[in-house]
Structure 1
Amino acid sequence: MIRIWFNSFFRKVESKTRWRSLIIEKMDLKGRIVIYTITGCPHCLRAKSKLRELELPYTDVNLDNFPQCREPLAERTGKNTVPQIFFNATHIGGNDDFQKLVEEKENFEKLVEDVKNTPPPPEAPVPPDPSTAVEQDQDKSKKDESSGFSCEPDEYAKLVKEIKSSDIIQNHRAGLFTVHKNSFSGNDLVDWIVKAKAIDRSKAIEMGQQLVDRHYAHSLSKHPEFLDNPSSFYRLVEDEETSALNVGAGSECLARPAVELARDLRKLILKLYGSFLSEDGKAVDYKGIGQSEDFQKYLEMTRDLQRVQIEDASREEKIAFFINIYNALVIHATVKNGPAVNIWQRYKFFNKVRYIIGGYSYSLQDIENGILRANRKGIGMLFKPFGKSDPRLKVALQKHEPLIHFALVCGAKSCPPIKTYTSERIYDQLNLAAKSFLEGDDGCSVDMENHHVKLSKILKWYGEDFGSNDEEVLLWVHEHLREGDKKSQIAELLAEKSFKISYWPYDWAVNAK
């Protein structure tokens, strides 16, 4: 918890409005202003920026540090989004509510007078004890002062270095028209290992299979197993000719657990995002992120994705892993390539931006539509992301997960009070993200007079994930709304079978500066 106090530094000017002067004069509060936030939430920053502009001291309760406050906050406010702001026991609401209240000068004056002159009543929210904060770096023992992580060395990383210094990596022709650049045959590798390591052939073949299984190398043909013959070709993953943002020599450590790695990457990118958001939360200094020391650490960590083992992970682990990686990759790509500002750039962004994960390359489209939507066609796609022989198909979910659409981006006017997903509570977290999204009018709004429901265009673009017709889609929305007026209104429209649905335009505005 961070306590922020500001001293008055504006000179009173007679031309200022009475309410503005009142706020500047009265800075010593007997009461308390509390704002609940999360890291990297632009709406939270905008609210805090306005409080600072008005020179009102506040207590910031970051729910990333105090997750025990999430459920009581939702029960108290009936909201699943942040920020949530209180003046003593009076619940103001989110950032939009607060900004509107400030414009209502008379009502705002009364609240300021109350919080200035009245101590917090027993029913006012009490900030948590700072000693109960959750440690953000859970495994400090792994950290290394130089940048990263100490680790257990992988003997096959040393073998890769030796292979690269040998003469077996060459360009090989396969048929009349195909040339495998920077490749080696299974036969050549086995011959080299037998000679270099003075071991028998069967052991050398096992080592070749380990290179494939550990994702140091992969087959350039359809068969996944390592074959000791001159017509089976392989390439080191770090030698791939790809636009992947994490290409290059990887870590020499044993592969880290997939969910743990994705969580740490996401936390670091969120830290960067939060550090380089403007004070008003309206713009991100992507150039500043790219020049920071933490971003260089992030780049090193992304190399660990090359060898991560994800194929045999559970459904919950895959969902958490790929959501966190998708969201981190979006920011990484924006830092590296700049924001996409037109239709063509957005197409390239989602189809060309990629990471090497577990030995194979994945674009944002591949992650969203291939993995998380169980290999369904996305917007404007003529074909499914993965063909029948694509090895990445083994990683894809067996059944699509519609809730991922509310976790991949924070496109609403307020954010769910969580941004890093965990396999242990993935469905609770995804349901919370959906409720938070639909809570906002840009996610779902209801006009009872005209029997009109207006939804985010996400529910149109991916309509098949939510239902086969308008009624099924609206039923899905109803089931994922929190209890309240909006849910009751939609239930009434569904019961009467009298409604029409339209969709909000999608806001592609860029938040770079």
Structure 2
Amino acid sequence: MFDNNTSMKGRVTVYSVPGCPHCIQAKTTLSKLGLPVCDVDLNKHKELRTRVNELTGHSTVPQIFFNNVYVGNNEDLQNLDPEHLELLVLSIREHPLPLDAPPVPEENSPDPEDRKEAGETAQSLMVRKHLNSVTGQRQCNEGCALFRLLEHVPNAALNSGETAACSPIKACDLSEALRSQILKLYSDHLSKDGKTVDYKAMSRSLYFERYCELAVKLQRVELLSLSREEKLAFFINIYNALVIHGNLHLGFPKNLWQRYRFFNYVSYLIGGEVFTLQDIENGVLRGNRKGVAQLLKPFSKNDPRLQVALPDVEPLIHFALNCGAKGCPPIKTYTPQDIDSQLCAAAEAFLENDESCMIDSGRREVKLSQIFKWYKADFGGTDEKLLDWVFDHMGASQKKRSLQALMSQGNVKVSYLPYDWSTNSTD
């Protein structure tokens, strides 16, 4: 199933003790998969036991992480669904070690005074968003802390490679500047209905060049002061722009595995943290819920990005986010002022389209976009609650009256329309 000769960018971290049969079996399994394993002996490195217990909730061994994804113990590893295991191996193959990877032992112990001075310097740089934690610590005087300059972040964020020279900026101020630039891009290279993009022309645009310059400033933006409304508008606009940036930089994903890589790899450095498309959609805008084919929530309890996440899922975001496929809602920009009305209008327009919602009165059937299937939990979790949500967000129309008639009689079948994954490029 796996090509053991393929070079790996990430690693598997196994916390173990010598002679443990479960640890030995787990490491044997991982070795057969050809995975790079960092074996941490907790008898030798007792200083890590508390941290491992905080991360996993367990004091037993082994405890296993694929990059920053916690898998569990040996039994959990052996019982992994083959498809989920393949996704985990793919993540090690494709993704470098992320910022919030679990801690490993320090090779050398520096002089305490030197360590204190280095910690104070690093703390100052971190506050000013010039560097970030690799192992999750927010203070540079914590044990086993490891930090890295933002320009050296290995995730290949599309706005990295140079460090923003600006001072930390309020997100609402930068958001408006970015939105203004995005509007200029959309005006020139987006179809009137917002459904298709002229990527080739956009790649040559001076407006896109200016947008990329502004995107670098996202590295040092201040996110924690954002209100709910500001956060919705900011991250929706950034998500849609990041998809376009990703398509221009990497090309449009053409199959399941390419889509998996695209949404888990394409990212921006925002406020000193890496946010992938998955992180923005499922971590921030869905209140840190697992996404499609995700084994765990995007942000662990110790992840600093969790502070940015909305407290609850916002179902209306599904009609504002465009992943670059023809089946997605149209691309628009949003403002914090009256954001809920803007999102309701987007949902109403989406439901008016027969490619997203069809009422078959003869068969007593409602056919909906796959979006409602993938994120059914966001709309209530049952067919009945889903139909109630759809009805409440429809505009006055014959379609809504037909749905009302079906629902009043009961026993309505819900099915899902094929999703058009072809690119929204004008080519």
Deviation of the 1:185 alpha carbon: 11
Matched, 1:419 2:342: no
Deviation of the 1:256 alpha carbon: 2.7
Deviation of the 1:273 alpha carbon: 4.1
Deviation of the 1:415 alpha carbon: 7.0
Matched, 1:443 2:372: no
- 1:11-26 to structure 2, matched below 5 A, reads none
What is the match of residue 250 of structure 1? Answer: 163
Amino acid at match of 2:204: Q
- 1:308-323 to structure 2, matched below 5 A, reads 308-323=221-236
SS of alignment partner, residue 382 of structure 1: coil
- Relative to the length of structure 1, the TM-score reads 0.57
Please say if residues 285 and 317 of structure 2, whose CA atoms lie closer than 8 Å, have aligned partners that are also in contact. yes
SS of alignment partner, residue 169 of structure 2: coil
* Partner Cα distance (2:353, 2:408) in 1: 23
Amino acid at match of 2:275: Y
What is the match of residue 221 of structure 1? Answer: 135
* Partner Cα distance (2:176, 2:308) in 1: 19
Deviation of the 1:288 alpha carbon: 3.1
Deviation of the 1:189 alpha carbon: 8.1
Match of 1:469 among 382, 386, 393: 382
Amino acid at match of 2:244: I
Match of 2:396 among 483, 486, 490: 483
Distance 1:280 1:383, change over 3 A: closer
Please say if residues 326 and 422 of structure 2, whose CA atoms lie closer than 8 Å, have aligned partners that are also in contact. no
Amino acid at match of 2:132: H
Matched, 1:237 2:124: no
* Partner Cα distance (1:458, 1:443) in 2: 9
What is the match of residue 95 of structure 1? Answer: none
Deviation of the 1:379 alpha carbon: 0.9
Please say if residues 359 and 402 of structure 2, whose CA atoms lie closer than 8 Å, have aligned partners that are also in contact. yes
What is the match of residue 429 of structure 1? Answer: 342
Deviation of the 1:175 alpha carbon: 5.0
Distance 1:390 1:496, change over 3 A: same
Please say if residues 290 and 336 of structure 1, whose CA atoms lie closer than 8 Å, have aligned partners that are also in contact. no
Match of 2:407 among 464, 487, 494: 494
Deviations 1:320-348 (A, max 9, x none): 11101100000011111111122221111
Distance 1:224 1:191, change over 3 A: closer
What is the match of residue 29 of structure 2? Answer: none
* Partner Cα distance (2:340, 2:113) in 1: 47
Distance 1:419 1:281, change over 3 A: closer
* Partner Cα distance (1:212, 1:412) in 2: 41
* Partner Cα distance (1:446, 1:185) in 2: 72
* Partner Cα distance (1:279, 1:405) in 2: 20
Deviations 1:135-157 (A, max 9, x none): xxxxxxxxxxxxxxxxxxxxxxx
Match of 1:345 among 258, 270, 282: 258
- 1:388-407 to structure 2, matched below 5 A, reads 388-407=301-320
Deviations 1:170-219 (A, max 9, x none): xxxx855x679xxx999658647xxxxxxxxxxx94x6544222322223
* Partner Cα distance (2:193, 2:235) in 1: 30
What is the match of residue 66 of structure 1? Answer: none
* Partner Cα distance (2:279, 2:328) in 1: 27
Deviation of the 1:472 alpha carbon: 0.4
Matched, 1:300 2:174: no
- 1:207-218 to structure 2, matched below 5 A, reads 208-218=122-132
* Partner Cα distance (1:185, 1:358) in 2: 32
Amino acid at match of 2:285: L
Pick which of 383-392 and 499-508 moved more. 383-392
| CA RMSD between the two structures | 3.1
* Partner Cα distance (2:111, 2:416) in 1: 54
Distance 1:276 1:187, change over 3 A: farther
What is the match of residue 321 of structure 2? Answer: 408
Amino acid at match of 1:363: T
Deviations 1:291-344 (A, max 9, x none): 332222111111111111112322222111110110000001111111112222
Matched, 1:504 2:414: no
Distance 1:179 1:293, change over 3 A: farther
Amino acid at match of 1:409: N
* Partner Cα distance (2:112, 2:410) in 1: 64
SS of alignment partner, residue 423 of structure 1: coil
Match of 1:265 among 178, 183, 203: 178
- 1:275-286 to structure 2, matched below 5 A, reads 275-276=188-189, 284-286=197-199
Deviation of the 1:263 alpha carbon: 3.6
Deviations 1:55-107 (A, max 9, x none): xxxxxxxxxxxxxxxxxxxxxxxxxxxxxxxxxxxxxxxxxxxxxxxxxxxxx
Distance 1:493 1:285, change over 3 A: closer
Please say if residues 235 and 285 of structure 2, whose CA atoms lie closer than 8 Å, have aligned partners that are also in contact. yes
* Partner Cα distance (1:415, 1:474) in 2: 19
SS of alignment partner, residue 434 of structure 1: helix
Please say if residues 350 and 363 of structure 1, whose CA atoms lie closer than 8 Å, have aligned partners that are also in contact. yes
Segments of 5+ residues of structure 1 without an aligned counterpart are: 1-173, 193-203
* Partner Cα distance (2:135, 2:267) in 1: 22
Distance 1:285 1:422, change over 3 A: closer
Distance 1:187 1:480, change over 3 A: farther
What is the match of residue 45 of structure 2? Answer: none
Please say if residues 134 and 147 of structure 2, whose CA atoms lie closer than 8 Å, have aligned partners that are also in contact. yes
Please say if residues 182 and 241 of structure 2, whose CA atoms lie closer than 8 Å, have aligned partners that are also in contact. yes
**Whose radius of gyration is greater, 1 or 2?**
1
* Partner Cα distance (1:511, 1:215) in 2: 36
- Relative to the length of structure 2, the TM-score reads 0.68
Distance 1:481 1:312, change over 3 A: same
* Partner Cα distance (1:179, 1:294) in 2: 47
* Partner Cα distance (2:115, 2:270) in 1: 24
Match of 1:457 among 370, 378, 383: 370
SS of alignment partner, residue 269 of structure 1: helix
Q: Identity over the aligned pairs, expressed in percent? A: 47
Deviation of the 1:277 alpha carbon: 5.1
Please say if residues 186 and 230 of structure 1, whose CA atoms lie closer than 8 Å, have aligned partners that are also in contact. no
SS of alignment partner, residue 338 of structure 2: helix
Amino acid at match of 2:421: W
